[in-house]
Homo-oligomer: A and B are copies of this chain.
């Protein structure tokens, strides 16, 4: 066959991306298959390669979409939060990872050089960090400058570490129950020290 008018280029992009994200949620990165995605959308592997270049390109796009969903989830939770927004933030952070363990894990299992991420996708991914920088600044009654940004990113790393252990199950295997509580406690200690 050749040029079909079933879908435009952007429609096709969206179609493959959606099916790819769904597959990622089902199988995780290690069992992800571009061929399976092609099968699901009724196109062939060649088409997937035409649109995304290669599997890494597709996975990158899926992971960027995951970041966007994640940021949406954080903002939705923060929207109705009057007090202790930091606790809400940490909880929403964990909740997303727990609700989407395979898609969340895929972000960090797919190791790729940061400069290989297209600028547009980098901007989408950066939204998550932006939210956190804003909230950390607010919690400290400061304007978001470089120092606040560095602290905020460090707190992201802190929470990420706890979240990674929680999702992998290694923390629970050690008999620990309240990973999220520990993460929040560490964040509070560092915020108190920064005040």
State the CA gap A193–B192 with chains docked (Å): 9
- Closest-by-CB residue of B relative to A102 is B111
A109 at the interface (CB under 8 A from B): yes
- Number of copies of this kind of chain in the complex: 2
State the CA gap A192–B162 with chains docked (Å): 20
Q: Please name the 4 residue pairs, one residue from A and one from B, whose CB atoms are nearest each other, closest first.
A: A161-B161, A114-B173, A157-B161, A154-B182
A54 at the interface (CB under 8 A from B): no
A145 at the interface (CB under 8 A from B): no
A-B contacts, 22 of them at CB < 8 A, read A30-B111, A108-B108, A111-B168, A114-B169, A114-B170, A150-B176, A150-B182, A153-B182, A154-B182, A154-B185, A154-B186, A157-B161, A157-B164, A157-B171, A157-B183, A158-B161, A158-B186, A160-B165, A186-B190, A189-B193, A190-B190, A193-B193
Contact: A165 with B169, CB < 8 Å?
no
Contact: A160 with B168, CB < 8 Å?
no
Q: Is the interface of A mostly helix, strand, loop or mixed?
A: helix
Q: Given A105-B111, A190-B189, A193-B192 in contact, is the A162-B170 Cβ separation under 8 Å?
A: no
Q: A86-129, CB under 8 A of B: which get 1 and which 0? A: 00000000000000000001001101011100000000000001
State the CA gap A131–B172 with chains docked (Å): 19
